[in-house]
């Protein structure tokens, strides 16, 4: 457990270093791509909080847009140009909106909750489209943000004139910093008692209620956290985009946000981030090469994922990593047992078990066991591989190397490769009589007692 935690901390530290180094590595276009993607990734993580308690929201694009206008309205109509003040204003506004929308929707579950969130988003879209406060003029489609002619923008103590590119280069570090803070916060939430309670509600809501868990209360808290972070993500995003529009609260964007965790893998923490990145990358490349056919491409990807990889991209990764781990560590098999059952063994040491390492790396097999079971699965004999050979040398079973485990007595030894044979280890069970004469089963176990392979002797 400690090793796994240290490994995750190392991965997080590496990711932080890479994110802060990207302005010195990437062209400006791809730096903008990352800057636009990170608030989407935060939204995907926020939506996944609701996924963890069994709720699918299609209305988070409305909360994202509320965060956008929490910045755009004070900036455009009241000339507030301090980035820090605008971001701080977005937090209470997003919080209040999340409380209101959550109070309406969390009392329903599953498909009813999903339809409610979609309906609430449609109402928000109608509000944003109808009132002039959300538009610069009656003809405009939204509000410009920050870079309005004749005004300056302030980050901490630095003041920018009408220079969007320079601002975007500096503001990138702001987005990265808040992305890291919010991601760590959501990681803590997921791995806390609160996060495990949400998962219990997701897995069996009725059982959770019988255990005394106040399901509605936990859903409400999860919705408020999710909605507040989503609104804050919208605030981060709009200052990079430079324009707030009602179209961002459309049902299409709501479905896209909900698809991020499904694409990446909603049962994993980093799956929604991976899903958001792949979706936006595919969308960007599709616009560059196939223009309006991007929906066709995305549709095929959705079909493939639902049919073949329901656990998302991270599910594929975990399956591959398990396979790779198996190939590297546990592809050790009993390939043959030579016994006197069919007159193959005349002397006791002519009876042996052959074990082969078919993997890609050497295995330290000290403490591994071979267990002899009767045809009725009754254990009769057990052999434990020693740490050292008879000459005192420690040993490991390398790729394509063999073990001959003889029934009789002898000295454990290693025979190197020659033209006729593979490298071989010879071990001795030190028995006085045949043990495989009745057939039975040979089980190979690792040092922890986990079954690695089972061989039926016929």
**pLDDT given for residue 230 in this prediction:** 96
CB atoms within 10 A of CB 409: 12
Encode pLDDT of 207-265 as tens digits: 888 888 999 999 999 999 999 999 999 999 999 988 999 988 888 888 899 989 988 88
Nearest CA to 36 among 248, 293, 184, 315? 248
Average pLDDT over every residue of 166-193: 90
What's the residue count for the chain? 458
**pLDDT given for residue 363 in this prediction:** 86
* pLDDT surpasses 80 at 301: no
Angle between helices 215-241 and 28-51 (to 10 degrees): 170
* pLDDT surpasses 90 at 206: no
**pLDDT given for residue 168 in this prediction:** 83
**pLDDT given for residue 150 in this prediction:** 65
- Dist. CA 317–CA 267, nearest whole Å: 13
Mean per-residue pLDDT over the chain, rounded? 87
Average pLDDT over every residue of 429-448: 88
**pLDDT given for residue 126 in this prediction:** 92
Angle between helices 215-241 and 193-203 (to 10 degrees): 110
Task: Kindly report the backbone phi and psi dihedral angles of residue 343, in degrees, each rounded to the nearest multiple of 5, phi listed first.
Answer: 60, 30
**pLDDT given for residue 298 in this prediction:** 76
* pLDDT surpasses 80 at 293: no
**pLDDT given for residue 323 in this prediction:** 67
* Lowest mean per-residue pLDDT among 9-23, 140-154, 189-203, 317-331: 317-331
Domain positions in the chain are 2-321, 331-457
* pLDDT surpasses 60 at 309: yes
Give the Å distances, CA to CA, from 410 to 178, 360, 382, 389, 434: 67, 30, 17, 11, 15
Average pLDDT over every residue of 406-431: 89
Domains 2-321 and 331-457 share a fold: no
**pLDDT given for residue 342 in this prediction:** 64
Domain boundaries 2-321, corresponding CATH code: 1.10.3470
DSSP string, 164-199: HHHHHHHHHHHHHHHHHHHHHHHHHHHTSHHHHHHH
Burial of 418 (0-12, 13-18, 19+ CB in 10 A): exposed
Confidence of residue 102 (pLDDT cuts 50, 70, 90): very high
Domain boundaries 331-457, corresponding CATH code: 2.60.40.1260
**pLDDT given for residue 347 in this prediction:** 85
- Dist. CA 137–CA 76, nearest whole Å: 12
Encode pLDDT of 262-281 as tens digits: 888 888 888 899 999 988 98
* pLDDT surpasses 60 at 80: yes
CB atoms within 10 A of CB 294: 17
DSSP string, 2-65: HHHHHHHHHHHHHHHHHHHHGGGTS-HHHHHHHHHHHHHHHHHHHHHHHHTTT---S-HHHHHH
* pLDDT surpasses 70 at 7: no
* pLDDT surpasses 70 at 324: no
User: 186: which 2 tokens?
Assistant: 């959501």
* pLDDT surpasses 60 at 1: no
* Lowest mean per-residue pLDDT among 183-187, 204-208, 232-236: 204-208
């Amino acid at each position: 457990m400690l090793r796994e935690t240290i490994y995750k901390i190392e991965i997080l530290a590496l990711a932080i270093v890479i994110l802060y180094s990207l302005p010195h590595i990437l062209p400006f276009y791809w730096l903008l791509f990352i800057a636009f993607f990170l608030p989407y990734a935060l939204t995907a993580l926020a939506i996944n909080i609701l996924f963890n308690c069994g709720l699918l929201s299609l209305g988070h694009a409305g909360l994202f847009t509320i965060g956008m206008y929490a910045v755009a309205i004070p900036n455009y109509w009241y000339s507030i140009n301090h980035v820090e003040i605008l971001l701080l204003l977005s937090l209470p506004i997003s919080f209040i909106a999340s409380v209101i929308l959550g109070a309406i929707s969390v009392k329903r579950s599953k498909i009813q909750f999903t339809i409610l969130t979609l309906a609430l988003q449609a109402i928000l879209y109608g509000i944003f489209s109808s009132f002039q406060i959300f538009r610069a003029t009656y003809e405009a489609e939204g509000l410009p943000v920050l870079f309005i002619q004749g005004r300056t923008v302030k980050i901490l103590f630095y003041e920018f004139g009408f220079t969007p590119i320079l601002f975007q280069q500096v503001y990138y570090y702001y987005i990265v910093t808040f992305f890291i803070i919010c991601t760590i916060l959501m990681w803590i939430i997921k791995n806390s008692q609160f996060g495990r309670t949400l998962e219990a509600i997701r897995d069996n809501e009725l059982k959770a209620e019988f255990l005394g868990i106040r399901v509605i209360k936990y859903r409400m808290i999860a919705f408020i956290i999710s909605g507040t972070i989503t609104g804050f993500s919208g605030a981060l995003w709009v200052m990079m985009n430079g324009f707030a529009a009602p179209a961002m609260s459309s049902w299409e964007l709501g479905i896209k946000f909900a698809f991020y965790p499904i694409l990446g893998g909603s049962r994993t923490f980093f799956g929604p981030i991976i899903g958001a990145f792949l979706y936006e990358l595919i969308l960007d490349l599709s616009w560059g090469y196939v223009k309006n056919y991007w929906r066709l491409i995305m549709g095929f990807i959705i079909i493939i994922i639902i049919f073949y990889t329901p656990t998302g991209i991270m599910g594929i990764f975990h399956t591959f990593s398990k396979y790779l781990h198996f190939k590297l560590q546990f592809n050790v098999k009993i390939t043959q047992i030579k016994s006197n059952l069919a007159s193959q063994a005349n002397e006791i040491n002519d009876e042996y078990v052959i074990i082969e390492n078919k993997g890609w790396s050497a295995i330290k097999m000290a403490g591994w066991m071979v267990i002899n079971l009767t045809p009725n699965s009754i254990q009769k004999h057990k052999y434990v591989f020693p740490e050292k050979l008879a000459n005192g040398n420690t040993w490991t079973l390398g790729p394509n190397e063999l073990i001959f485990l003889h029934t009789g007595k002898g000295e454990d030894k290693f025979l190197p490769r020659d033209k006729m044979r593979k490298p071989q280890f010879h071990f001795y069970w030190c028995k006085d009589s045949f043990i495989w004469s009745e057939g039975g089963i040979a089980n190979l176990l690792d040092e922890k007692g986990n079954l690695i392979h089972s061989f039926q002797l016929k």
